Amino acid sequence: MTGPDSDSEAAPREIERKYLLRGLPDEARARGVPKEIEQGWIPGTTLQERLRRVRAADGSERRFRTVKLGRGVSRIEVEEETPADLFERMWPLTEGRRVHKRRWVVESGERRWEIDEFLDRSLVLAEIELEREDEPVVLPEWLAPWVVREVTGEDAYVNVNLAR
């Protein structure tokens, strides 16, 4: 018999830290690879189900369906690529619960920073995925001056709560 701890240990986890920025860092534009992202959430209270369309600079598109459980630094996340026809049938369910952003991916040393520039409001956030919850984060020189504060786990900066 397995208990709740063993189930959660086997589930895929996303461990990330999030930071509020005062603008888009110059380094993100200079070194980053931009992708345009539209995300929408299907109504529900038990779990968060998200649809995401990612448009690369070359115009190619990929679509994903993601289920997330939990909050804070470490959460369970299950994601799968979704066929275009299924995505288009489900997308209207997200009306009124969407965000639109440009993501700049910047490799910095052994780290990968994702800078989200929201296109539907004045907001820029930086995220970094970690191996462990207690792993220390050292902000790179190019990013540190832009950081207002860490907002990991703050409800106001969780994408599903930003959706409109």
What mean pLDDT value characterizes the chain?
Answer: 89
Residue 133 domain-assigned (yes or no): yes
pLDDT for 102-112, tens place per residue?
999 999 888 99
- Given a cut of 70, is residue 76 above it in pLDDT? yes
Q: For 12, phi and psi rounded to 5 degrees?
A: -65, 135
In a domain, 86, yes or no: yes
59/1: higher pLDDT: 59
Residue 61 lies in a domain: yes
- Segment 64-89 mean pLDDT: 86
Within a domain: 101:
yes
**What pLDDT shows up at residue 25?**
97
Structure-block tokens of residue 145:
């001056």
Query: Is residue 4 a part of any domain in this protein?
Result: no
| CB hemisphere CA count around 24 (13 angstroms) | 18
Instruction: Tell me which residue range forms the domain holding 117.
Output: 12-162
The amino acid present at 75, given as its one-letter code, is R
**Would residue 87 count as lying in a domain?**
yes
How many domains does the chain divide into?
Answer: 1
Q: How far apart are CA 62 and CA 56, in angstroms?
A: 9
- Residue 144 belongs to a domain: yes
Whole-prediction pTM value? Answer: 0.85
The CATH number of residue 117's host domain is 2.40.320.10
Confidence check: pLDDT of 164 > 60 = yes
Please state the separation of Cα 132 from the chain's center in Å: 18
70: left (phi over 0), alpha (psi -120 to 50) or beta: left
Give the residue with greater pLDDT, 127 vs 15: 127
- 117-128 per-position pLDDT tens digit: 999 999 999 999
Q: Mean pLDDT lowest for which of 5-9, 20-24, 115-119, 141-145?
A: 5-9
Q: How far is CA 143 from the centre of its chain?
A: 18
pLDDT score, position 151: 98
